[in-house]
Amino acid sequence: MNNAMNILTLAQAAPADGGAAQPTGIEALLGSPAILFVLLAVVVYFLLLRPQQKQRKEHLRMVSELKTGDRVVLSGGIHGVVANVKDKTLLVKIAENTKIEVERASVSAVLPAE
């Protein structure tokens, strides 16, 4: 009789769907793969893509404002002074009587004037 009473009590307490409780509210929303994918995309955008776009815009602005006499550092680490500005290239003086022509995009930094 005691065993029958325990079985009856367990049968009444168990949910009809096999024992798994269904999430409700925010748990159901965040458990959706589509919502998790959207949240992941938003995180990637704000942590990776947006800062990279801002950095690229800043570099393009810096390169477009170059003028003769600016001290620059090229992407290869070469320091020099801009001797002539052309549409897509610069003539950079790196030593006495030594000038090289480089792409504008190869300028990695503009140094403050001395």
Question: Structural domain tally of the chain?
Answer: 2
Nearest one of 51, 52, 53, 86 to 67, comparing CA atoms: 86
Nearest one of 103, 105, 112 to 63, comparing CA atoms: 105
Q: Which domain holds residue 41?
A: 26-65
Instruction: Please check whether residues 77 and 98 belong to one and the same domain.
Output: yes
Instruction: Please check whether residues 72 and 42 belong to one and the same domain.
Output: no
Higher pLDDT, 16 or 105: 105
In a domain, 42, yes or no: yes
Q: pLDDT of 56-101, one tens digit each?
A: 999 999 999 999 999 999 999 999 999 999 999 999 999 999 999 9
Instruction: Please check whether residues 55 and 71 belong to one and the same domain.
Output: no
Q: pLDDT of 26-53, one tens digit each?
A: 666 666 777 888 888 999 998 989 999 9
Instruction: Kindly tell me if the per-residue pLDDT of 7 is higher than 70.
Output: no
Give the domain CATH number at 113: 2.30.30.100
Instruction: Please check whether residues 51 and 71 belong to one and the same domain.
Output: no
In a domain, 57, yes or no: yes
